[in-house]
């Protein structure tokens, strides 16, 4: 199985801050990476796929980058509604996907 390691596991930030979350795969995944946002008591929501493609309806302050084994989710200017837990997921392995352990973004 491909293992996904996210960092940090949590962070505190203020409204307006630029926030970066990193996801590292145990082997190259050729941009087969998605990012999700989950708010308490809610189902996760797809933000980006193919490492950098924004899902329809997702604000442009969210962006993704990376290649090979290392990927990044960036929120350019953190908004109050962005406080949540974020997960990366690889889908490179045919019909076998794994998630990162999550990064909780909290209010400073």
Of the CA atoms within 13 Å of residue 11, those in its CB half-sphere come to 20
96 binds another protein (CB under 8 A): yes
107 binds another protein (CB under 8 A): no
Q: Which of 5, 52, 74, 98 binds another protein (CB under 8 A)?
A: 98
75 binds another protein (CB under 8 A): no
The least CB distance from residue 2 to another protein, in Å, is 11
Termini Cα distance of the chain: 36
The token pair that represents 43 in the structure block: 């189902």
Q: Backbone phi, then psi, for 25, in 5-degree steps?
A: -95, 150
Q: Which of 2, 11, 13, 46 binds another protein (CB under 8 A)?
A: 46
CB atoms near residue 68 (< 10 Å): 12
The least CB distance from residue 12 to another protein, in Å, is 19
Q: Which of 53, 67, 79, 107 binds another protein (CB under 8 A)?
A: 53
Helix (H, G, I), strand (E, B) or coil at 33: strand
12 binds another protein (CB under 8 A): no
CA dihedral over 84, 20, 27, 67, signed as positive or negative: positive
Interacting residues toward another protein by CB under 8 A? 1, 32, 34-36, 38, 43-46, 48-50, 53, 55, 87, 89, 91, 95-102
């Amino acid at each position: 199985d491909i293992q996904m390691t996210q960092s940090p596991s949590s962070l505190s930030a203020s409204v307006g801050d630029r926030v970066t979350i990193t996801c590292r795969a145990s082997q190259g995944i050729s941009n087969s990476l998605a990012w999700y946002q989950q708010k308490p008591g809610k189902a996760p929501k797809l933000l980006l796929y193919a490492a950098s493609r924004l899902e329809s309806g997702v604000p442009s302050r969210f962006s993704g980058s990376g290649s090979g084994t290392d990927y990044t989710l960036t929120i350019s200017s953190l908004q109050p509604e962005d406080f949540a837990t974020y997960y990366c997921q690889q889908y490179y392995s045919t019909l076998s996907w794994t998630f990162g352990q999550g990064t909780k973004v909290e209010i400073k």
